[in-house]
Amino acid sequence: MTIIFITLDCDGYIFTEKMVRLDLSYNKFQELPLESGNLELVNELGEWEVGIGMFKNLLFLDLRGNVLEKFPEQVERLELLEELYLSENKLSEIPSDLGGLEKLKVLFIHHNKINRIATDLYSLQNLQV
């Protein structure tokens, strides 16, 4: 799988810290791109793992209508995330990692194959039911 970065400035730098909204819905992703140990990326970005977790200021993430079977890696790094849409996938569980997203207000997980929700999810005080 190849990771494609969108350049947001004229100098060729990726300003992931400026992105607050990301809509990847209805793309038929089986998993989100994650690159580990690529020395070129380590040198350029100073990160060992490059993926969705780089979008540190993301408030809104829409992954509806894909074919995700497991919870996307690095979502737990999105500490400012307020809205997460995972409906219409093939997820079977919601992991405890999600319990660290203290600012999460909206979580849509309907139309999946969920048979397990981690109890940490119940500690999210801002989550609106």
Q: What is the CATH number of domain 16-123?
A: 3.80.10.10
Return the domain boundaries, the chain.
Answer: 16-123
Full-model pTM:
0.79
Interior angle at CA 118, CA 30 and CA 53, nearest 5: 50
pLDDT recorded at residue 44:
61
Q: pLDDT tens digits, residue range 112-124?
A: 999 988 888 788 8
CA dist 16 and 127 (Å) reads 25
Per-residue pLDDT reduced to its tens digit, 11-70? 444 555 678 998 999 999 998 876 665 556 555 655 556 678 888 899 999 999 999 999
Higher pLDDT, 38 or 88: 88
